[in-house]
Amino acid sequence: MENKGILVINPGSTSTKIGVFENDQLVFEKNIHHNNEEIEQLNTIEDQISFRKNIIFSVLKENNYDVNNLALIMARGGLLKPVLSGVYHVNETMLHDLKHAPKFHASNLAGLIANEIAEKQNIKAYIADPVVVDELSNLARFTGHPEFSRISIFHALNQKAVARKYAASIDKKYEDLNLIVTHIGGGITVGAHEKGKVIDVNQGYDGEGPFSPERSGTVPSGDLIKKAFSGEYTEKEMHEMIVGKGGVSAYLGTNNMIEVENRVEAGDEKATEVLEAMCYQISKTIGSMAVALKGNVDAILITGGVAHSDFVTAKIEEYTKFIAPNSVFPGEDELEALAYNGSLILQNSIEINTYQ
């Protein structure tokens, strides 16, 4: 009997999400939470790989899943060199770059873990639409100074998956539509999708665009320079001010958006103003992406964990409905999106790219 199982791996800083799919159907999924004490004891990337790999095997065993039934493994892409959208085989060049990336992100572990499991099972591992998908137009790369250039790091996997899902829902092809896709999670990215390519997107990973639950977004550059040279902060503290301890967290002392919404419902005026300000900034970014598409926008799609908030989605629609209709796809479809790409591989209906 031909193997048909697809194992999907998506690590976060304190969690590892996995799913097993067969014939486009979810067999089971598990969000494995790791406490901070466990993670802090893992001093190297190799320690992280071994720790998470062993837990994945344990979860598969607990769910009585025969690992010998796996046909391939799909992993979330990490901080690699810029690539075009698509599926990539995990090769030696990719493994090297995942281990030696200038900035470490938990997503870098996915391909490394997938490769070790794949080698053990004598199958192949792949990634699809990593965060470094780069389809920016040349004009979108300009910043205003030749020492700096805008780069593309965004929620490519979820944005592309939601765009394709929306296109299918109206019996159109993703490549035939102009869409603005907004992913609202711990970080926020807003992409201008022109006929299947993301020609512009804010680099939300380390500080561009609207502020988010834990990131400051674009801040006044002059004030930022003064803070950096004031002697009051270390480089690490400055970075945390922008990424990790910025945004809603800095204003309200929490990045838990459910807690923030509860405070809004209880009449907390500060929480209400901060949440409205975040929606306002998101909407302004959507407006800028409408300009990138020259006003030819078929729909505005809102996705990510915070898209579960009726308050947030209603506020954004209030500001942006004049541009195009809003459609909401709450949550993250990353496991499903990876599995979908895996099924295309098994059907030999997608080109497999080589990472170089």
| pLDDT given at position 115 | 97
pLDDT higher than threshold 90 for residue 74: yes
pLDDT higher than threshold 90 for residue 34: no
For the segment 217-247, what is each residue's pLDDT rounded down to a tens digit? 999 999 999 999 999 999 999 999 999 899 9
User: Do 5-129+334-354 and 139-324 share a fold?
Assistant: yes
Please report, for the chain, the start and end positions of each structural domain, with discontinuous segments joined by +.
5-129+334-354, 139-324
Least confident of 37-41, 74-78, 147-151, 159-163: 37-41
What pLDDT band is residue 45 in, cutting at 50, 70 and 90? confident
| pLDDT given at position 101 | 86
pLDDT higher than threshold 70 for residue 262: yes
| pLDDT given at position 107 | 86
Instruction: Spell out the CATH class of 5-129+334-354.
Output: alpha beta
* Mean pLDDT (whole number) for 126-144: 96
Assess contact for 245 and 214: CB atoms under 8 A: yes
pLDDT higher than threshold 70 for residue 1: no
- Shortest CA distance to 72 belongs to which of 55, 89, 56? 89
How many CB atoms within 10 Å of residue 291?
11
| pLDDT given at position 111 | 96
| pLDDT given at position 14 | 75
* Mean pLDDT (whole number) for 23-30: 92
- Shortest CA distance to 299 belongs to which of 109, 169, 188, 149? 169
Question: Distance between CA 100 and CA 110 in Å, rounded?
Answer: 14
CATH of domain 139-324: 3.30.420.40
**pTM score, whole prediction:** 0.89
The DSSP result for 53-102, as a single string, is HHHHHHHHHHTT--GGGEEEEEEE--S-S-B-SSEEE--HHHHHHHHT-S
Buried b / exposed e over 304-319, threshold 16 CB at 10 Å, is bbbbebebbbebbbeb
For the segment 80-115, what is each residue's pLDDT rounded down to a tens digit? 999 999 999 999 999 999 999 887 778 899 999 999
pLDDT higher than threshold 90 for residue 351: yes
DSSP state of 176: G
